[in-house]
Amino acid sequence: MDHPLTSLADNHLAREALSRAEVLYTDLDGTLLGRGGSILTDLRGEPSLTAAEAVAAINRAGLPVVIVSARTACMLKEIARMLAWQDYLAEMGAVRVYGRGAEIVYDLGEWEDRLTSDGERPHDVIEDSGVIAALMEAFPGKLEYHSPHHADREVTHLLRGLVDDTAAQAVLDTSPLPLTWLDNGMVNPRSTGLDWVEHVHAYHVMPRGVDKASAIAADLFRRDLTREQAVMVGDSLADLTVHETVGLTVLVANALRSDTVRERAACIETVVVTDGAAGEGWAELAYAWLAAREER
């Protein structure tokens, strides 16, 4: 049964969920961060303090926020430091980091028994298998590495372009490695190498069984929290797919640019949408969380 999408401000079930929440999981690009990946700009690129002030308010209340991102652990370490946060789930959940690197846990899904004895990184195992080259050959001129975000990866490969997801997964299925193709939505700025593409998407090649939902579930277990005590905020299909792992999923308004996200979100009762886009929407959620906790 489809459920009409409602705004965060108008949904009483969302307020109840926020009153129970003890941790917030957040995406970065297009969610907390504005144009150019900055917390000091809105989605249009205009200077804004809205998101930064909301982060300060959450930190002042002592509420934990965990970054869940496609970015690498080394990139997230600096972002977490600047935001005064401690923990993050990197590479779409494949790398869980606590205390900004004091402890690192690798979640590799179906790969647990396939790691090489000499400690070769899963990222290198994937490249050595030839499957990335096979993707480039299957989609000539339609795929490239998502520079500079593809560098320093330990587990996943990050590409960009515009291809059919089913066809791309079919290429991965020819590999003896258990691999998953994941579309992480539209990205900006557009690649100069793919000028003909109207909407460039980010794509991940990763071990099967690894995703944001599995990483959040593992993190909640570590914190001794239930799904009802967790909230996720994001802007993409990858963020939406965690809805069974958390009590409330919040999409910032710009997530609805995607027809797929909008259609799937309408089928999930625990999904709400902010009125604001990107950092403005993130701030809307932050203040709603603080208000709900004061009322409980």
- The contacts of residue 173 (CB under 8 Å, 6+ apart) are 179
- Residue ending a domain, among 187, 207, 227, is 207
**What one-character DSSP code corresponds to residue 275?**
S
Contact 144, 190 (CB under 8 A): no
Instruction: Confirm whether 194 is domain-assigned.
Output: yes
**What one-character DSSP code corresponds to residue 197?**
-
Q: What are the residues facing 207 on neighbouring strands?
A: 179
Q: What is the CATH number of the domain that holds 81?
A: 3.40.50.1000
Tell me the pLDDT tens digit for each residue of 248-296: 999 999 999 888 899 999 999 999 999 999 999 999 999 999 999 998 7
Angle at the Cα of 187 (from 183 to 188), degrees rounded to 5?
A: 170
Tokens of 206: 């990763």
55 with 133, same domain?
no
Strand, helix or coil at 102?
A: coil
- Residue ending a domain, among 169, 190, 207, is 207
217 with 268, same domain?
yes
Q: Give the pLDDT of residue 111.
A: 82
Q: Give the pLDDT of residue 197.
A: 67
11 with 97, same domain?
yes
Judging by DSSP bridges, how do beta strands 248-251 and 271-273 pair with one another?
Answer: parallel
Four-residue CA torsion sign, 213, 216, 218, 221:
negative
- The closest of 228, 269, 226, 234 to 17, measured between CA atoms, is 228
* Residue-number span of the structural domain to which 88 is assigned: 6-107+211-295
Contact 36, 45 (CB under 8 A): yes
Q: Give the pLDDT of residue 1.
A: 37
CA atoms within 13 A on the CB side of 119: 0
Contact 154, 120 (CB under 8 A): no
Q: Give the pLDDT of residue 114.
A: 55
Q: Give the pLDDT of residue 116.
A: 47
- Residue ending a domain, among 207, 233, 258, is 207
Judging by DSSP bridges, how do beta strands 157-161 and 88-90 pair with one another?
Answer: unpaired
16 with 50, same domain?
yes
Instruction: Confirm whether 151 is domain-assigned.
Output: yes
Tokens of 34: 């504005």
Four-residue CA torsion sign, 276, 189, 206, 87:
negative
91 with 38, same domain?
yes
11 with 32, same domain?
yes
Q: Give the pLDDT of residue 189.
A: 56
**What one-character DSSP code corresponds to residue 247?**
S
Instruction: Confirm whether 1 is domain-assigned.
Output: no
191 with 217, same domain?
no
The number of folded domains in the chain is 2
Which residues of the chain have a pLDDT value below 70? 1-3, 112-119, 188-193, 195-197
Tokens of 149: 């975000």
